[in-house]
Amino acid sequence: MSKLNNDKLKITSEPLELPEQTSKFPSTRFMGSKEKLINHIWSVASQFEFETVLDLFSGSGVVSYMFKTQNKQVFSNDYMAFSANITKALVENNNVTLTEEDIEGILNESTPTDKFVSETFNEIYFNDEDNKFIDMVRANLKLLEDETKKSLVLAALVRACLKKRPRGIFTYTGLRYDDGRRDLKLTLREQFLEAVKAVNEAVFDNGKENKSYNGDSLTVEKHADLVYIDPPYYSPLSDNEYVRRYHFVEGIVRDWQGVEMQWNTKTKKFKSYPTPFKNLQGTYEAFDKIFEYHRNSILIVSYSSNSLPDKEEMVAIMKKYKKNVEVVSVDYKYSFGNQGHKVGDNKNKVEEYLFVGY
């Protein structure tokens, strides 16, 4: 797992092309998704010799999937069950897809349901028909025995919910931001059937035993030749809370088991899971611990120029454990389209860094 040659790391502004299969990943608007950066990440990673990759904060799953298409053995991890479910369905799973009979079973309207979504989230995110549909899928899922098939159905249901939800998040109630887009007009059933197709088409075999984990990045006991680290970005100016944004789809995947419901909230969310990335001190310590635990691996960290630790601090933490540390900067503009900023305004320019330790 050394570098392929002894030259300095190439700071490529020319991202590498990726195989056709990579574009089959059914992406959604997941906060912090690196969908637009996977070519850059591969440009950097491909300069090393490695067989196994650990994606410690897999989120949407798009980076894990990219590494899978490069025929690496991929270990994915995220502390949210709905993220881990996506990689179970599309990274760990090499050959199972949903058949028409499976879908018929999932759409069986005569199975009694617990009405949990219809009753708990009445008029909160989706209309009655859509809520009933979710409850029906949940009920029929319990009758499906194959765990991989379950993960495919859940991945499709989650995708349908995220697509039908304006802005793809569950931090507000009602149908604000409904701009009449096709995605919002389709029923959840229609969205689900499209999602099943997209998910099925994304399944492929890279000949490796890939594995999806659902744990805390600081305690997951797994090593790999290369570790990709993309935690929530900490900034005192913005909130980086994932569970709060995605609690509804997280609830679907966990079937609301083992969560602490906050019944008095308008959104009917549940208590977020503890994570060190909620405050500055915790964030510094977490990076230190993660780098120490994975000190024998090639490390690639995604982080942005408007977050803490800053560039110099991050390099210093990494230098404690790695001989060579380099920073690749990817020019990247976040869109602030409806916040009154002018395009080209310097304040909009956030640099995405890849910190590479080897």
Ligand X SMILES: C[S@@+](CC[C@H](N)C(=O)[O-])C[C@H]1O[C@@H](n2cnc3c(N)ncnc32)[C@H](O)[C@@H]1O
Between CA 245 and CA 87, with CA 201 as vertex, the angle to 5 degrees is: 40
Looking at beta carbons only, is 121 or 303 nearer to ligand X? 303
Q: For ligand X, which is the closer residue by CB, 122 or 267?
A: 267
Q: Which stretch binds ligand X (CB under 6 A): 155-163, 230-238, 256-264, 325-333?
A: 230-238
Helix (H, G, I), strand (E, B) or coil at 303: strand
Q: Does 83 bind ligand X (CB under 6 A)?
A: yes
* CB atoms inside a 10 Å sphere around CB 35: 15
- Which CB atom, from 241 or from 255, has the smaller least distance to ligand X? 241
Binding string, residues 234-273; x marks residues near ligand X by CB under 6 A? --------x-------------------------------
| Binding flag, residue 63, ligand X (CB under 6 A) | yes
The interface with ligand X within residues 30-59 (CB under 6 A) comprises 30, 32-34, 57-59
CA atoms within 13 A on the CB side of 242: 26
Q: Report if residue 303 touches ligand X, rule: CB under 6 A.
A: no
Q: Nearer Cβ to ligand X, position 274 or 344?
A: 274
Q: Work out whether 82 is an interface residue with ligand X (CB under 6 A).
A: no
Residue 81: in which H helix or E strand, if any?
helix 81-87
For residues 35 and 15, is the Cβ–Cβ distance under 8 A?
Answer: no
Nearer to ligand X, 59 or 251 (CB): 59
Task: Kindly tell me which residue out of 231, 291, 299, 328 binds ligand X, with binding defined by CB under 6 A.
Answer: 231
Each as own residue / partner, the long-range contacts of residues 248-252 (CB below 8 Å, 24 or more positions apart, any chain) are: 248/121, 248/125, 248/161, 248/170, 249/82, 249/158, 249/161, 249/162, 249/170, 250/80, 250/81, 250/82, 252/82, 252/117, 252/134, 252/138, 252/154, 252/157, 252/158, 252/161
Q: Is 62 in the site for ligand X (CB under 6 A)?
A: yes
By CB under 6 A, residue 60 contacts ligand X: yes
- Please list every residue from 121 through 160 that binds ligand X, using CB under 6 A: none
Backbone phi and psi for residue 209, each to the nearest 5 degrees, phi listed first: -90, 90
Are the beta carbons of 151 and 89 closer than 8 angstroms?
yes
From the list 2-10, 73-81, 118-126, 306-314, the region that binds ligand X by CB under 6 A is: 73-81
Residues at the interface with ligand X (CB under 6 A) = 30, 32-34, 57-60, 62-63, 78-80, 83, 216-217, 230-232, 242, 275, 277
